[in-house]
Amino acid sequence: MSKLINKSFIIMAALFAAMACTDVNIDIEGGQDDGSDFSSLHIGYTFSWKMTVAYNINISSTKGTEFSFFTEEACENLLISGNVPAGETVTVTVNVPEGTECIYLKYVSEDGPTVKPIQLTQTKAGEASVLITDAVETGYDDDWRLQSFVPGKDKNGTLLFEDLYPGIGDYDFNDLVVYYNIANTKSYGFTSNMTDESVITFTIKSKGGSIQSDFGVELTGIPASFAAQYATVTVDGEPVEGALKTSGDASAVFMVSTDGGKYDTEKKMSIVDKTVKITMSKDNLDDLVSATYFSSLFDMDNINWFMNVNGTEIHLKGFKATALAPSQASDTFASKDNLVWGLNVPVELIPAKEKVDFLLAYPDFRKWVESDSYVWYNTPVTSNLAW
């Protein structure tokens, strides 16, 4: 029995979306209402803080061919690569920064390598369809794969946390800084080698907070019993045991200590540089259930990052606490004034200096929070960055 072709795949790269409704004046203890800190932000009650949103692209071709999607015409930041069978349609769901008008499709045509812009409808339910009519035939073989890279191949996103949850901290967002990359490989078609693989790599870069903590990720919907059998974990290249913290049918939760590194007296933070790699791999030739687990990791809503401080989990808004923290099952990880304790930024970001408000390091962050859209992370005040 061969595994059926899976025609829907999900990839995430990066997206900024802001929903500004009723304004709220935030009063953080000790804050100055001079526009330089979070105390002066006007945050809509329904502002999601989410930086990703999906766009569906339906790809079909008159000939079976390979394709790739990039964020720019120069084709440097690879988001996804795969194959579309002749006469079939493959649907990919991509996430892009707010304001992006197109991404770029690359394939080999009769004229050689060809790059075409794919226009994106600027709505949450945006959808585009592409018909390739001039592709060079690539025929089926034993290496038909879909590969996705989040936020891009050899690129990192950044997770920033405040550690005083549910209390209000100093909002420098450098208590824990983590860089991450996700690479997924999905087999499809009728081949003899149907190995699927997910590689989740994160580097605990630095700690501005002095509280002992751990960092973790939940693979929502993937049973811990499955992960125990098919996942391996390394820290700085060395295999480790005990990182999987759940068991049985509970979703797999991996967690490691953020301790280590060296305290930098000038930066007033610990530089940890601990790299953790979670690799899950399995040949799913006759196992559609297992194949579904791997497919689920193309959806970044199933990658649930969190910080753990003395047993209290701190998640991004919109995500739930894991089975390890049942008392937090109803937590929304947003305050009554819609403040959050975690940010997921789709680029490798340098954090603010210790005790420097995030808005002093990234003043355009305000425009993202208070307006429909704004790419805020390209204009930092370098003198206020940690390095």
Phi-psi region of 62 (alpha: psi -120 to 50; beta: other; left: phi over 0): alpha
Q: Which of 189-203, 230-244, 248-262 has the lowest mean pLDDT?
A: 189-203
Cβ–Cβ under 8 Å, residues 93 and 371: no
Percent of the chain predicted with pLDDT > 90: 58
Does residue 343 surpass a pLDDT of 80? yes
Mean pLDDT to the nearest integer, 114-130: 77
Query: With 0-12 CB in 10 A as exposed, 13-18 as middle and 19+ as buried, what is 242?
Result: exposed
DSSP H or E stretch at residue 225: helix 224-230
What separation, in Å, do the N-terminal and C-terminal C-alpha atoms of the chain show?
55
Residue whose tokens read 């690479």: 183
DSSP H or E stretch at residue 10: strand 8-10
pTM for the structure as a whole: 0.87
Residue 48 carries which DSSP code? Answer: -
Does residue 239 surpass a pLDDT of 90? yes
Residues 6+ apart with CB under 8 A from 31: 37, 38, 39, 40
Residue whose tokens read 């025609």: 7
Per-residue pLDDT of 63-78, as tens digits, reads 989 999 999 999 999 9
Mean pLDDT to the nearest integer, 51-64: 84
Does residue 180 surpass a pLDDT of 60? yes
Query: With 0-12 CB in 10 A as exposed, 13-18 as middle and 19+ as buried, what is 204?
Result: buried
pLDDT range class, residue 279, cuts 50, 70, 90: very high
Does residue 30 surpass a pLDDT of 90? no
The per-residue pLDDT for 373 is 65
Among candidate residues 344, 330, 333, the one with its CA nearest the CA of residue 301? 344
Does residue 14 surpass a pLDDT of 50? no
Residue count of the chain: 387
- Preceding amide of 351 cis, omega within 30: no
Per-residue pLDDT of 91-109, as tens digits, reads 887 877 776 788 999 999 9
Mean pLDDT to the nearest integer, 348-361: 93
CATH fold group of domain 1-16+51-147: Immunoglobulin-like (2.60.40)
3-state secondary structure of 86: coil
Does residue 351 surpass a pLDDT of 50? yes
CA–CA distance, 25 with 302 (Å, rounded to integer)? 33
Two tokens, residue 151: 């936020």
The per-residue pLDDT for 189 is 59
| Domain regions of the chain by residue span | 1-16+51-147, 156-387
pLDDT range class, residue 276, cuts 50, 70, 90: very high
Higher-pLDDT residue of 345 and 33 is 345
Does residue 260 surpass a pLDDT of 80? yes
Among candidate residues 187, 182, 183, 107, the one with its CA nearest the CA of residue 145? 187
The per-residue pLDDT for 102 is 87
What average pLDDT does the chain have? 85
CA–CA distance, 255 with 213 (Å, rounded to integer)? 10
Two tokens, residue 357: 């408000």
Does residue 178 surpass a pLDDT of 90? yes
Mean pLDDT to the nearest integer, 128-149: 81
Percent of the chain predicted with pLDDT > 70: 85
Cβ–Cβ under 8 Å, residues 75 and 68: yes
For residue 342, list its beta bridge partners: 161
Residue 22 carries which DSSP code? Answer: S
pLDDT range class, residue 140, cuts 50, 70, 90: low
